[in-house]
Every structure is written in structure tokens, then in C-alpha cells.
């Protein structure tokens, strides 16, 4: 297993998680990532989509809401990075949820590191 790494994107410290780490599957996993991020001085946690549990993408499970609430409460931003098109194709509600979530400044679901970088780029 490789180690999560700190990177700087446009002056923002990002904890870039590896694909082979523990699944982001609930509040405990969210708190572990938040603790790691805070301990290392990261403002954003970037989790590869393949590391996010299937339940996260099934809104009825409540996992996405619980995970996102932890990140908001601790003021650490979360980015799910990667291809989630399969999940979006299966659920209109999820498509709407992602669109709405991506309009905010705290949790994003983005296609790749370039899109994350654009979101972190200072305005102006």
C-alpha cells in the first residue's frame, strides 16, 4: 500500500489519497481522513473515486450525507476525484445531488486532478 501525499495546488494544501487505501465508507473513515488531514496541515482531502464505497453513491443509504457532514463540521474540504459516470447514469437523484454539491465550496465530485486544481485556483 502506498502512502497518501501532501501536494500544493494554487497555494492550497491537499492530502491526495492513494487508490489502495481504506474505503471511504462512513463516518469513521471520514474522521480518520479528517484527522490525518488536520494533523498534516491539509485544507482539502482528495479521495480517488475508486476508494469511495458504493453506498456513498446510493443516496438512500445516508453514507454520503454522513461523510459530507463530518467534513463540513471539521472545516476540511472533500473532493472525490475520478470517473463516477456509472453511478450518475444509474441515478437522476445522484446527478442532481452532484450538480448541487459542486456549486458549493466545501465538497466536490470532480473528474480529475485538473478539475480539482481549477476549483482551487484563486479567482481573478
Checking if the pLDDT of 16 tops 60, the result is: yes
Euclidean distance between CA atoms 62 and 53, whole angstroms: 12
Sole residue written with cell 501525499: 5
Q: What are residue 107's DSSP bridge partners?
A: 78
For residue 2, is pLDDT > 70?
no
User: 97: which 3 cell numbers?
Assistant: 445531488
Q: What confidence category does residue 122 fall into, taking pLDDT thresholds of 50, 70 and 90? A: confident
Cell of residue 23, nine digits = 474505503
Average pLDDT over residues 84-95: 96
Each residue's pLDDT tens digit, 47-84:
999 999 999 999 999 999 999 999 999 999 999 999 99
Q: Which CATH code of 3.30.750, 1.10.3470, 1.20.1070, 3.30.420 fits the domain covering 5-116?
A: 3.30.750
Q: Give yes or no for a contact between 108 and 102, defined as CB atoms under 8 angstroms apart.
A: yes
- The span from the CA of 94 to the CA of 2, in Å, is 31
| Structure confidence by residue, pLDDT tens digits, 21-44 | 999 999 999 999 999 999 999 999
DSSP readout, 100-122?
Answer: HHHTSSSEEEESSHHHHHHHHSP
**pTM for the complete prediction?**
0.94
- Local confidence band at 123 (pLDDT 50, 70, 90 cut-offs): confident
Give the Cα-Cα-Cα angle 84, 20, 16 (nearest 5 degrees). 75
Task: Determine the Cα–Cα distance for residues 48 and 74; give it in Å rounded to an integer.
Answer: 20
Query: Domain map of the chain by residue range?
Result: 5-116
> Torsion angle of alpha carbons 74, 76, 81, 87, nearest 10°?
30
Amino acid at each position: 500500500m502506498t502512502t497518501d501525499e501532501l501536494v500544493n495546488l494554487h497555494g492550497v494544501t491537499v492530502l491526495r489519497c492513494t487508490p489502495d487505501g481504506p474505503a471511504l465508507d462512513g463516518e469513521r473513515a471520514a474522521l480518520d481522513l479528517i484527522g490525518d488531514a488536520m494533523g498534516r496541515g491539509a485544507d482539502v482531502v482528495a479521495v480517488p473515486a475508486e476508494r469511495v464505497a458504493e453506498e456513498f453513491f446510493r443516496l438512500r443509504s445516508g453514507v454520503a450525507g454522513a461523510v459530507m457532514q463530518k467534513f463540513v463540521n471539521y472545516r476540511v474540504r472533500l473532493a472525490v476525484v475520478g470517473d463516477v459516470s456509472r453511478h450518475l447514469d444509474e441515478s437522476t437523484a445522484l446527478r442532481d445531488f452532484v450538480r448541487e454539491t459542486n456549486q458549493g465550496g466545501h465538497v466536490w465530485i470532480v473528474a480529475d486532478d485538473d478539475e480539482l486544481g481549477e476549483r482551487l485556483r484563486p479567482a481573478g
